[in-house]
Structure 1
Amino acid sequence: AVTSVAAMQLVEGGLLTLDAPIAPVLPELAERPVLEGFDAEGRPRLRPAKRPVTLRHLLTHTAGFAYDMWNADIKRLMERENVPGVISCRQAALQTPLTFDPGEKWHYGINIDFVGRAVEAVSGRSLQDYFRAHILDPLGMADTGFTLGPGQRARRVGMHAR
């Protein structure tokens, strides 16, 4: 949700647009193919997307991306191509093809990762720095962020189980 707020702030500021292709901001999305399945030898069958990915598609999870844990074809492709999962936090995890044409379906996936990259690209700041300056500090959210500082770590509560 915070990443979406950041993106919409940049839309309001004229640095991002909802319905134009996002490729000028994120060139890696310019030619993202659609995975149609696999051939008899197990090789992925890919084709060009019918339309470009937009920020609106990314924000609404209609760009065509899927998580491997919920899409068997993406999981199979990632295993075949040795693509790490998103849990690895590696950029290589964002190299998967689309699973449908942008705007044609909804599927929860790696969309917001790309929104975060767009925020960084147009703001010139890391996502953490943008959040802090434009969202978290103005709201007085001093303990929200990507990492725990020593003071926060000291206040952590242990897990409770019965």
Structure 2
Amino acid sequence: MTQIDGGKIDALFGSAVEQGSYVGGAAIAANADGVLYESGFGTATADTLFRIASMTKAMTTAAVLHLVDAGKVSLDAEVREYIPAYGELQVLDGFDGDTPILRAPKTQSTVRQLLNHTSGHGYAFLNEKLVKYHEVTGTPSVLAFHRSMLTLPLVNDPGTTWEYGISTDWAGQVVEAVSGQTLGEYLGEHVWGPLGMTSTTFDASGSADRLIPMQSRMPDGTLQPNGIELPTPPEIHSGGGGSYSTVGDYGRFMRMLLGGGELDGTRILSAESVELMFTPSLGDIALPDVIKSSDPLLCNDVPSAPLPQDWGLGLHLMLANLPGMRHAGTGDWAGLTNCYFWVDRAAGLCGAVLTQALPFFDEKIVMGALAFEGTVYAEVGAAAAA
């Protein structure tokens, strides 16, 4: 198996911690055969349990596709076929004073649209209409992982726009409705358990000693503890952002995707379902040039790379080479807590950098993650061409 000089990566992250870019984190690089690099740095270890936020989405997508493989869910079925109450959701067009202006959607969202974020759902930290809706209705933040998140209105008609939001939370509800289990129970039985992901969970109760404090980037550039804690146990298993994991566990999930749905002789998903995750699905719907933040404490503006991109199911897709790094066709995504991962099937490589810091898309953390990725490809000799 290809070996990586871990000393170079250790030095990279050690320097980043000294310079204040990171407080603590962990990183992994792997191929289908095994782990090439895995370590914690700063205040974290490889055994640290991270709040991985939207990195949960790819795993929830896998749970849905597991049900598709079993013939129990159809991607093109309307969501209300599995959850009748879903058909009662309305679209938020604006406000009359402080009164929300709501109307019925022109079409009903499908399961597929939940998985590629064209279902019409949004997030308050990225949508001003939802900011006001939370204010005037008193609906808790989605980070409360409260069942009230399922009452939030759509912000677009399904099938018209790509907008990042609680779509995958609803996908998790489809899993629960069809299986009769909680999302965590279903993932535990069919994904986490078979893959040996023994630390991944929606409930970190009793695991406080394995967590590191959440940090926020201050105006002076330092990272300081912000006191943010997620509810444990949560009222709802948030398929869009509520799980905890380690780099080793998430590495096994990524390696399963590299293996076309199989790892160490255990098949989780059909090759066809994995292929769907990596197949562009947006058609004429364009991704935004910038994902604009409406809450600078949680998220910075996220600019898009000037390269062709799309969305598969549960994964963002880069459709061109990133020179010196990932290849065209790579699937990736991230988590609000400045966690990042990629799965490059062309190179047979995957990797992740996990931290616990806000706001999302922190420039120093992103630059460190990119430096890690470039170092991995250089060490393996599999970098994408210009």
TM-score, normalised to structure 1's length? 0.89
Instruction: Give secondary structure in 2 for the equivalent of 1:137.
Output: helix
User: CA separation in 1, counterparts of 2:144 and 2:204?
Assistant: 19
TM-superposed deviation, 1:12: 1.4
Aligned with residue 67 of structure 2, among 1, 7, 10: 10
Aligned with residue 89 of structure 2, among 32, 40, 53: 32
Equivalent residue for 1:45?
101
User: CA separation in 2, counterparts of 1:132 and 1:48?
Assistant: 36
Equivalent residue for 1:119?
175
Pick closer, same or farther for the CA change 1:157–1:26 going to 2, 3 Å. Answer: closer
* 1:108 is the counterpart of 2:149: no
User: CA separation in 2, counterparts of 1:32 and 1:149?
Assistant: 33
User: CA separation in 2, counterparts of 1:23 and 1:127?
Assistant: 18
TM-superposed deviation, 1:158: 5.0
User: CA separation in 2, counterparts of 1:11 and 1:105?
Assistant: 25
Equivalent residue for 1:136?
192
User: CA separation in 2, counterparts of 1:84 and 1:133?
Assistant: 30
Larger deviation: 13-22 or 41-50?
Answer: 41-50
Aligned with residue 20 of structure 1, among 60, 67, 77: 77
TM-superposed deviation, 1:42: 3.1
2:84 is aligned with what amino acid?
P
Equivalent residue for 1:89?
145
1:45 is aligned with what amino acid?
I
1:23 is aligned with what amino acid?
R
Paired positions, count: 159
Equivalent residue for 2:136?
80
Relative to total residues, which structure has the larger helix share, 1 or 2? 1
User: CA separation in 1, counterparts of 2:84 and 2:163?
Assistant: 22
User: CA separation in 2, counterparts of 1:88 and 1:158?
Assistant: 19
User: CA separation in 1, counterparts of 2:151 and 2:204?
Assistant: 29
Preserved contact between residue 36 and residue 45 of structure 1 (Cα < 8 Å): yes
User: CA separation in 2, counterparts of 1:26 and 1:71?
Assistant: 25
Instruction: Give secondary structure in 2 for the equivalent of 1:2.
Output: helix
1:46 is aligned with what amino acid?
L
Structure 1: unaligned runs, 5 residues or longer? none
User: CA separation in 1, counterparts of 2:189 and 2:88?
Assistant: 33
User: CA separation in 2, counterparts of 1:19 and 1:10?
Assistant: 13
Equivalent residue for 1:65?
121
Kindly report structure 1 stretches of 4+ aligned residues shifted beyond 6 Å.
none
Instruction: Give secondary structure in 1 for the equivalent of 2:88.
Output: coil
TM-score, normalised to structure 2's length? 0.39
How much is the aligned-residue C-alpha RMSD, in angstroms? 2.1
1:11 is aligned with what amino acid?
V
